[in-house]
Structure 1
Amino acid sequence: MFFRPQLLDSFTGYNRALLTKDVLAGVTVGVVALPLAMAFAIASGLKPEAGIFTAIIAGGLISLLGGSRVQIGGPAGAFIVIVYGIVERYGVPNLLLATAMSGVFLFLMGLFRLGTLVRFIPIAVIIGFTNGIAFLIGLSQIKDFFGLQIEKMPAHFFQSIHALLQAANTFNPAALGLACGSLGLLILWRLFNSRLGWLAHLPGTVVTMVLATIITSIFNLPIDTIGTRFGGIPSSLPSFEWIPISWGNAEYMVAPALTLALLGAIESLLCARIADGLIHDRHESNQELMAQGIANFTIPFFGGMPATGTIARTVTNIESGATTPISGIVHALTLLIIVLFAAPLAKNIPLACLAAILMYVAWNMGEWKKFIELKQFRLPYRITILSVFFLTVILDLTIAVEVGLLLAFITFIYRISSLSRCETALASDYPRLANQQGRIDAYRIHGAIFFGAVKLLEKIEANLPTHTLLLDLKNVIYIDTSGMDTIMELAHLCKLRNIKLIICGLAHQPLEMVERSDFFSVLPPDSFYPDLSSGVEAATA
């Protein structure tokens, strides 16, 4: 069945004990998701409720329809830079359009079974753009972390640096102190978590947010809060509204939508693979992509932002005892209850605290050790990871991924072509070839004959014997169309010079390629032998 949510297969052996675990895990993740959802939305240039509504609606749909048992969906830090850039350049209505279009792309990716292709993106590219996004998230939070007076942060790197430097003398000591205290508490909570006893079950982000809100309210600190900047958050879900759609806008949104879809696919499937390793299960990648597509197509009609699988919340879900998608649905319901009954309390949450939380998330999101370990890897790997990182930071994620994939492709072609080799068959192995060099030559080819390694045959063309040429392809694992064309050109050249060409050892994919190209009709029937020994015997008979 092409569409089968994991939820339908999760009830075999399900009992009250497992339901209790799922409910408790869902409540825990729901509480953890609250500050993150608001922080991600604010950092993306949106109102805090956009993040909460996305966690509720999109997160619920992803758990209900997804292909993973324990993955939690919602707004993610990886989207911050992309969403902020779209909002600044095209506006919120076009962000909603791009999000809906990305949902269509994601669904089609799953429908056409392209989920496994995401795994072919090299790890160097993934690390490069993940670290680049983490760096940009940290950079985007400097404004609220220091309480700087900047009306609107630019989306581009150099303009952001210029704006921060220009406003450096406007920093707010109260905001900086609260942000540093919040960040310090988050770090200490993680370091000493095992010594906190029953308190260890409380999420550090939630504890930090509550304490920062209480301190801000008691001392009436002169800093920005959700209430002063956004007027608080609504205590109800938004109503369904059609998003403005026009062909003119849609034309410009194709590239941003593809970027959102690609990033969402990578992030969600990477998260699902991590979850698989923790619960010793296997997700259905194409079902997950279709669920992500439905969620991202739906959420813009409720004023939300792009959603994907979230690693931190998924790991929290697993560590809290979750076993089925029920926990993800409970997580969405928990957020809904918080919005309905506790929304007025959110107006006093200080933005400096949310900035500290995002700084903490960005640091944990990046794989910074990989930069320290770069000297252990080959130069092409270093160039790829650093190029993707700097291009993500300075230019654009789309350009960074394109360049990264191109560099990885070139490196792969070079490595595979360097592993392919051609060697002369020795007379010591085949006595019949003794004193026949220049008249009867035999070559063994290893590896792949493809467009990056056709030079192997071109070298043979330059040194053709006078009577017979034998090619042993027993150790060739792959031939592409370029390689097949080169073999046919070699056969044509041999025919012109009245040289007999003998092919030995065809098997598996090379044999299939020869059959498909009708190469058997090009040479006489006595030109093909199962191994080099029989070919040499026939040539020297």
Structure 2
Amino acid sequence: MNSTAFSRYRAEWFDGAGNARRDILAGMVGTFALIPEVIAFSFVAGVDPEVGLFASFIIGIVIAFAGGRPAMISGAAGSVALVAAALVHAHGLPYLLAATLLAGVFQIIFGLLKLDILMRFVSRSVRTGFVNALAILIFSAQVPQMLGVTWHTYAMIAGGLAIIYLLPRLTTAIPSPLICILVLTAISIAFPMPIHVVSDLGRLPASLPSLTPPAVPFAWQTLQIVAPFALAMAAVGLLESMMTATVVDDLTETNSSKARECTGLGLANVAAGLFGGIAGCGMIGQTVGNVRYGGRGRLSTLVAGVFLLLVMVPLRPWIAQVPVAALVAIMIMVSVSTFSWGSIRDLAKHPKVSGIVMAATVIVTVLTHDLSAGVAAGVLLSGVFFAFKVTRLMKVEAAYDPATETRIYTVSGQIFFASAEIFSDQFDLRETPERVRIDLTASHLWDITAVKALEEVVTKMRRHGIQVEVTGLNQASAILVDRLAPTVGTTVA
């Protein structure tokens, strides 16, 4: 690590005493927001809550040092749990731990190969849809905690929201969500009432995590079982983490190393698997909350992980009494602040295509409860619209030069698999004289489909006794044609 990189890394940890205080407090609040979601997704994955909580502690510690996005909180939750559920139900927890280790290895490889570049194919409309869908999912996840309860729960939630939104008008020294947790917990202890507390969500850890290698046979058959699940877990985890990192980049107006985040997440998941935890990824709700509370550095990520273990083991009796209503109030605030309300207004101003892509991302994500499925649908739809747009920009204009008795076809635009057929249809052999020149100066051939389309056009004309000259290819296109269709014969521009 050179001096510049070291200085930047150091600044990501300790950039002023004030920032350190905000990072510590924001990380503590992030821990409380982390607990209910990790427990909920542990049930989804079919494992005990302590498995998810231990994994979140390990992932938080490792990612704080090895990750590429400061202030980002990662844990054992998200779509990774949905993938893991099928493996647990079919083969049990040991195979899930083995899949977690292998998923981490895959993610390290992805990072080293810098496959994070694929994020460039995710448009802003997809990212906006991702954020809006996440806000909806965060809110909907709180609904079960508000059904079949007494009026005391609603009163506590209302009181929590009042503290969260009104306290900052008086002071911002301490994050209002942390005050919300302390005040509502004190009220519930002083005045016992029929409300749910954290201990009702599931069994909490009673001891420290220990090194627990997966107890599975070291055989080819084991690899055949876990590899497909590990690859899916790695891909889904990276997708959610990359999207989360991009959202934080936008919120903080800073850049991050996506390749390093891939590698860091892989190391974190390998560590989680070795300590008996399940795979995790970036948690956008908790991360956005951390940033909203003032977290900006790696210290907030570290505190979120360390404080999770601290509150889960030594302070377990006290944390067990925290009202779920306090956590619901915090997550409602995160949901409201996460949703991009301006995107609704922009629907009237932005191109309809962008609105359709955003809406599709939201709808698919909400219906499937799978953020990766929504992003995949949005990216696919964006690609389809892009292909249609590019094909409309490709034109072939014909003109006749009586002096040389030559018909000149001037091609402009991009020729690739989506526009190759349209390109071929522009040449009418019935009205073509004995001499033809195809001018490709203003065009570019991108793939084998485009080259073969050009070759077929030239071959047909020559079969009809027409002299064909292909001119104006740029160097990259000419190299492609010479390698794949040398009989065409070209003149480079």
Indicate whether the TM-score tops 0.5: yes
Distance 1:460 1:14 in 2: 62
Deviation per CA, 1:81-123, whole angstroms, max 9, x where unpaired? 6536854994583665554443233222112220111221233
Residue among 25, 29, 44 paired with 1:28: 25
1:354 corresponds to 2:352 = no
Aligned equivalent of 2:59: 58
Aligned equivalent of 1:504: 471
Deviation per CA, 1:217-255, whole angstroms, max 9, x where unpaired? 111111121234535553x42222234547888767666
State the TM-score, normalizing by the size of structure 1: 0.76
Distance 2:12 2:256 in 1: 22
The answer to whether the Cα contact below 8 Å between 2:395 and 2:411 also exists between their aligned partners in 1 is: yes
What is the SS of the residue equivalent to 1:223? coil
Distance 1:268 1:85 in 2: 16
| Amino acid aligned to 1:34 | T
Identity of aligned residues (%): 23
Distance 1:480 1:173 in 2: 65
Residue among 199, 208, 212 paired with 2:184: 212
1:201 corresponds to 2:173 = yes
* Segment of structure 1 superposing worse, 94-103 or 480-489: 94-103
Distance 1:400 1:277 in 2: 20
Deviation per CA, 1:273-321, whole angstroms, max 9, x where unpaired? 4555677764332122011111122224435454434556478569858
Aligned equivalent of 1:296: 269
Q: 1:494/1:188 Cα in 2 relative to 1: closer, same or farther (>3 Å)?
A: same
Deviation per CA, 1:499-530, whole angstroms, max 9, x where unpaired? 111122222322222232252x544xxx6374
* Segment of structure 1 superposing worse, 243-252 or 398-407: 243-252
The answer to whether the Cα contact below 8 Å between 1:23 and 1:330 also exists between their aligned partners in 2 is: no
Q: 1:452/1:502 Cα in 2 relative to 1: closer, same or farther (>3 Å)?
A: same
| Amino acid aligned to 1:356 | A
| Amino acid aligned to 2:180 | T
Aligned equivalent of 2:120: 119
Larger Cα Rg: Structure 1 or Structure 2? 1
| 1:121-520 paired onto structure 2 within 5 Å | 121-146=122-147, 148=148, 171-189=149-167, 193=168, 195-197=169-171, 200-230=172-202, 232-234=204-206, 236-243=207-214, 245=216, 257-258=230-231, 260-273=233-246, 276=249, 282-310=255-283, 313=287, 316=290, 325=298, 328-329=301-302, 332-339=305-312, 341-395=314-368, 397=370, 398-425=372-399, 433-434=401-402, 439-454=405-420, 455-463=422-430, 465-519=432-486
State the TM-score, normalizing by the size of structure 2: 0.83
Can you give the 5+ residue segments of structure 1 that lack an aligned partner in the other structure? 149-170, 428-432, 531-541
The answer to whether the Cα contact below 8 Å between 1:5 and 1:65 also exists between their aligned partners in 2 is: no
Residue among 515, 518, 528 paired with 2:491: 528
Distance 1:232 1:337 in 2: 12
Deviation per CA, 1:367-386, whole angstroms, max 9, x where unpaired? 34424432334443333332
What is the SS of the residue equivalent to 1:202? coil
The answer to whether the Cα contact below 8 Å between 2:161 and 2:333 also exists between their aligned partners in 1 is: yes
Question: 1:355 Cα shift?
Answer: 2.3
| Amino acid aligned to 1:106 | Q
Q: Provide the aligned length of Structure 1 versus Structure 2.
A: 481
The answer to whether the Cα contact below 8 Å between 1:21 and 1:321 also exists between their aligned partners in 2 is: no
The answer to whether the Cα contact below 8 Å between 2:391 and 2:419 also exists between their aligned partners in 1 is: yes
